Structure 1
Amino acid sequence: MPEGPFGDMIKLGQKIFNHTPKYAPKYVGNSLSCANCHLDAGRLADSAPLWAAYPAYPAYRSKNKKVNSYQERLQGCFMYSMNGKAPPLNSDVLLALESYSYFLAKGAPVGDEKMAGRGFPKLAAPAESPDLTRGQKVYEASCALCHGSDGQGRTVNGQVVFPPLWGKNSYNWGAGMHSVSTAASFIHANMPFGMPKTLTEQQAWDVAAYINSRPRPQDPRFTGSVEETRAKFHPNTKYDYYGQTIDGKQLGNPANTPPAGTVPK
């Protein structure tokens, strides 16, 4: 890394990326860090690495229907994946993360949408529809050892070593990972940790469906109506469980859904 103020900013970005609740506490509302989904400190291919993400912006995003800068994309991560609130543009938090991303992306081609290793390798549609019962069995056999039988992760000496996958301390209903197709792609390419691609594609689909059929924090775009929010932001009912009733409870209903944006005061 370079010396001087820019090097210091890069190092701060790396710290924020790896331990987000510790170094950006005003903007994080759960137990997740950026590195939980972007593995090896954002460097691992097929785990949405920063070196492939940074050169992809500015870009239009259908999620908010506008062209986003890289910092605006990062703001979305805090709102949804971190169940927090967006740091202001050009704040030290976003400048540090942008600097770290720039450092990792040096030499990468700009705007190459087919760059090898970018994003999560998209899986083909499953041979069979994702099944929650099969998914639970995959979870118990291949995921529970690290993430807990209750999906709440593992903490050692106050440090989250394996992140929670559902519940109040996980990503909310607006995060990209809540989509079964996105989660299945991530899981197949990267999980179990240290044993990527040992699950079949069908197993990845099934366990992604199981994980994303559990309660999690509210979508920050919640309109006050589960049905309206589902129709407006969750139209893909095939791979999105928001608003569906599982185990007798409607997912997204405020009666059994933790709030969005639970940033500690």
Structure 2
Amino acid sequence: MRWLTPVLALTLAACSGSSPPAAPAAPATAPAPAKAATASPAPSKDVAKTFTPPPADSIPDTPFGKMVREGRAIFTDTQTHAKAYVGNGLNCSNCHLDAGRLPNAAPLWAAWGMYPAYRSKNGHVNTFAERLQGCFRYSMNGKAPPPDSEVIVALESYSYWLAQGAPTGVALAGRGYPKQGFKPPQPPDFARGQKVFETSCALCHGKDGQGQKVAGRYVFPPLWGPDSFNWGAGMHQLNNAAAFIKANMPLGRGGMLSDQDAWDVAMFMDAHERPQDPRFNGNVAETRKKYHDSKMSLYGTVVNGHLLGSGPDR
């Protein structure tokens, strides 16, 4: 099966996150400071490489600790504790593994210290609260909690607590998904990806990719369709999905798949329909041009004769 139209020929480049501005150089005439008057040194690269969040059992038994625990509960069981803001079957911890603690699975402790930050996705500087709101709107296919709501405050508290002792403004090792230099030997292929899915993913996520439930609740999340993340979520982009899969999937056996297999199965997953981008303006082509003009997005492209983003969910 061939999926790739000329417009989608992938010349892939790894995406990079926002970086903090470089510190201004000291004046040329400034004398070398005495040791006693030396300002606090910038965090060393060694600190960034070795950061470990505090253990879960060390959350303090205080009013602040109570809010931290609430944030952890929301994060791991969003369906129960933030139901009013969720529109699909996912929990935050489906993409941010081990309750937001696991390196290379977009851990909360590595994200906290990098905000406020400019995001090209919405064209302005975002606070951490706004970043969390975006997760509800896109990854959870729901609606954004108010920035001063208990849900956002609890999630901020949990993130802050996880990041205690971490340097701020430093891209910690394990942040996000490992995309640096991560390119497929060949362009991603739907047919190859389907084979990878059948052998390495279907056991947990189901042959139809719709996840698996126990007692009416997902124990393994749906990867596409009406109960999955929508077309505005970061995971719909091939490089994000491939990097996450390579580092973390199959669950508990991250790194097992080859680079090519990870990209191929990401292609297969992201070439299925899912809920519409909430920024949809009534026209798929125009929405792609405005929000998805990237080789990493399949939205608005034709795969196996289907225009992705046109629905219905399948």
TM range (shorter): over 0.9
Count of residues paired in the alignment: 255
Distance 2:70 2:218 in 1: 19
Q: Corresponding residue for 1:131?
A: 189
1:22 to 80, 85, 102: 80
1:245 to 302, 305, 313: 302
Is 2:182–2:243's contact at 8 Å kept on the other side of the alignment?
no
TM-score (norm. length: structure 2): 0.80
SS in 2 for 1:56: coil
Is 1:18–1:35's contact at 8 Å kept on the other side of the alignment?
yes
Listed as ranges, the gaps of 5+ residues in structure 1 are: 259-265
Distance 1:159 1:96 in 2: 23
Q: Corresponding residue for 1:45?
A: 103
Q: What amino acid sits opposite 1:39 in the alignment?
A: L
SS in 1 for 2:210: coil
Structure 1 vs Structure 2 CA RMSD? 1.1
What's the % identity of the aligned pairs? 59
TM-score (norm. length: structure 1): 0.94
SS in 2 for 1:167: coil
Q: What amino acid sits opposite 1:248 in the alignment?
A: G
Query: Which residues in structure 2 correspond to 1:112-123 (within 5 Å)?
Result: 112-113=170-171, 115-122=172-179, 123=181
Q: Corresponding residue for 1:263?
A: none
Distance 2:217 2:286 in 1: 38
Q: What amino acid sits opposite 2:203 in the alignment?
A: L
Query: Which residues in structure 2 correspond to 1:4-153 (within 5 Å)?
Result: 4-113=62-171, 115-122=172-179, 123-153=181-211
Q: Deviations over 1:57-76 (max 9, x none)?
A: 11110100111110000000
Deviation of residue 126 (structure 1)? 1.3
Deviation of residue 246 (structure 1)? 2.4
Listed as ranges, the gaps of 5+ residues in structure 2 are: 1-58
Distance 1:100 1:241 in 2: 34
Distance 1:169 1:89 in 2: 25
Q: Corresponding residue for 2:35?
A: none
Q: Corresponding residue for 1:230?
A: 288
Is 2:235–2:241's contact at 8 Å kept on the other side of the alignment?
yes
Q: What amino acid sits opposite 1:256 in the alignment?
A: P
Deviation of residue 250 (structure 1)? 1.2
Deviation of residue 171 (structure 1)? 0.3
Runs of 4+ in 1 over 4 A off after TM superposition: none
Q: Deviations over 1:227-257 (max 9, x none)?
A: 0001111111x3211111223321111x524
Is 2:183–2:259's contact at 8 Å kept on the other side of the alignment?
no
